[in-house]
Structure 1
Amino acid sequence: MNLRPRRREDPEVNLTPLIDVVFLLLIFFMISTTFDREAELRVELPQATAEPGEPPPELLEITVNARGQYFVNDQQVVNSQPQTLKRAMQQVLAGRKELPVVIRSDGQAPYQAVVTVMDVARQLGLSQLSLATTQTPAE
Structure 2
Amino acid sequence: MLFRKRRRIIPQVNITSLIDVVLLLLIFFMISTTFVTQPGIPINLPKASAKVNNVTQESHTVVITADNKIFMNRQEIQNIEELRSILLKLHQDQQGDLIVVKADESVAHGVVVGVMDIIKTSGFTRIAIATR
TM-score, normalization by structure 1: 0.52
- CA drift of 1:51 comes to 6.1
| Corresponding residue of 2:60 | 60
| Corresponding residue of 2:114 | 116
Q: Does the 8 Å CA contact 1:60/1:92 hold for their aligned counterparts?
A: no
CA distance, structure 2, for counterparts of residue 91 and residue 75 of structure 1:
15
Q: Does the 8 Å CA contact 1:100/1:129 hold for their aligned counterparts?
A: yes
TM-score, normalization by structure 2: 0.54
CA distance, structure 2, for counterparts of residue 86 and residue 99 of structure 1:
15
Check 1:125–1:94 CA distance in 2 against 1; reply closer, same or farther (3 A cut).
closer
Q: Does the 8 Å CA contact 2:62/2:72 hold for their aligned counterparts?
A: yes
CA RMSD of aligned residues (A): 2.2
1:1-139 to 2 correspondences below 5 Å = 53-79=53-79, 82-96=80-94, 99-134=97-132
- CA drift of 1:94 comes to 4.4
* 2:83 aligned counterpart, secondary structure: helix
Q: Does the 8 Å CA contact 1:60/1:93 hold for their aligned counterparts?
A: no
CA distance, structure 2, for counterparts of residue 95 and residue 120 of structure 1:
17
- CA drift of 1:89 comes to 2.2
CA distance, structure 1, for counterparts of residue 112 and residue 74 of structure 2:
16
The structure carrying a bigger helix percent of its residues is 2
Structure 1: give runs of 5+ residues left out of the alignment: 1-49, 135-139
Structure 2: give runs of 5+ residues left out of the alignment: 1-49
- CA drift of 1:110 comes to 2.2
Seq. identity, %: 22
